[in-house]
A = this chain, B = another copy of it.
């Protein structure tokens, strides 16, 4: 268990922060507590103060004030991360971006837009509704775009549209010394120098604070079709996925839920799907293109015993289907009243997916734990939600062992310890196992851009 360390925060710094943001700084215990926790089992580690920022210049001044005193700064979006990303391990000032939620520009002709970091994905898509465009990246939660950029988020659409790595065009970032930079221009590609955009995407607030995000948008497809298909067993479902991807069929979504997760979703979202390993599909394209994709995928699924496609043809049925999928994490936790989720994910080359999932299922059975499997399997990415009682030490130990075996298995298959949840402080040990000597380069970068280790310290790499 990681213990919290005290920072040099004091009344003098509080007074300085008040000069910068007026009443928008607080030390109220309940607010501090809420900002020290995410949606996982990790206990709250509250910051010393929370600032509700309204402007980049303010953020820069807050950072400068903290930097002068060596006080840590932790950015906060919607608090929906899963690896303790927002825990104030060394105290400090939490900069809550939720009130920096303006959509600054929609360049419909260029298929991009520029937003403040507190704008959430649903807010953006509501705003875009009349433009014929949408923003595809959809982690389970209605996360903020700043947080999604900081954690390199993805979701169900990533198999077709990529992750935040592919969809962030440019960022505005406040550096550890208060400098304000813009990482790139708005052109679709560039060879002009080091790729600062990608350096900050996924850096989890450890290299700088994201104060603006420019992302790519896409035309709403002419036709959309979604379906649910149950399979006789896990292997058949996964092999359907593997063959679909290897065939180059441009599915928009291909999601796997095991029988336990289907049970959880049925209960949580009042549905009545079969309690079997199940794939959720979505197809985007022209009318003819969607028809062609559906035809190909039905053919593949049929070969593996998945021939009962339940179609969601109306938009509201599709919304219900995907909301159930997005709520899978909450549904999983609800399997056990009072339980907390250890949500972990790995990602492997697609050829290893069946082996990785089946061996993990055997581990779960042996562990005696409640742990539904759900995944963005088109990318080779899947999740376990281990539903635990954090006060039960034996159970926590078994959960930890299960997680470790899954991660080590993924690494042995040339996969990664996290496909989309990120590192926070929960996966720092696994990060070292994954990267070996490259960790020393990550440390060099951290020291170069944050020499006093004040930017979300204790996350990603130890320095």
Contacts and interface: CB of A to CB of B under 8 A. Distances in A.
A219 B419 CA distance: 24
B183 A438 contact: yes
Contacts of A110: 349-351
A189 B420 contact: yes
A365 interface: no
Contact of A349 (B153, B186, B410): B186
A460 B194 contact: yes
B181 A441 contact: yes
A400 to B, nearest CB: 18
B423 A175 contact: no
B431 A351 contact: no
A202 interface: yes
Contacts of A286: 292
A437 interface: yes
Nearest to A247: B219
> How many of chain A's residues touch chain B, expressed as a range?
35 or more
Contact of A187 (B111, B348, B430): B348
B347 A189 contact: yes
A419 to B, nearest CB: 5
A107 interface: yes
A422 interface: yes
B442 A193 contact: yes
Nearest to A153: B191
A195 to B, nearest CB: 5
Given A186-B415, A444-B449, A193 B246 contact: no
A192 B418 contact: yes
A297 to B, nearest CB: 13
Contacts of A153: 191
B448 A447 contact: yes
Contacts of A120: none
A436 B379 contact: no
A15 interface: no
A151 B151 CA distance: 26
Given A110-B351, A246-B111, A292-B286, A151 B191 contact: yes
A199 interface: yes
B188 A434 contact: no
Contact of A189 (B193, B419, B434): B419
Contacts of A151: 191
Contacts of A415: 185-187
A185 B461 contact: no
Interface of A: 107, 109-112, 151-154, 158, 162-163, 165-166, 175, 179-196, 198-199, 201-203, 207, 218-219, 242, 246-248, 286, 288-289, 292, 347-351, 379-381, 410-411, 414-423, 427, 430-431, 434-442, 444-445, 447-449, 460-461
Given A165-B189, A188-B349, A192-B434, 4 more contacts: A179-B440, A187-B380, A191-B421, A192-B423
19 contacts: A109-B350, A111-B246, A154-B191, A175-B441, A179-B440, A181-B435, A182-B436, A186-B415, A187-B381, A187-B415, A189-B381, A190-B418, A192-B435, A195-B195, A196-B442, A219-B247, A219-B248, A445-B448, A445-B449
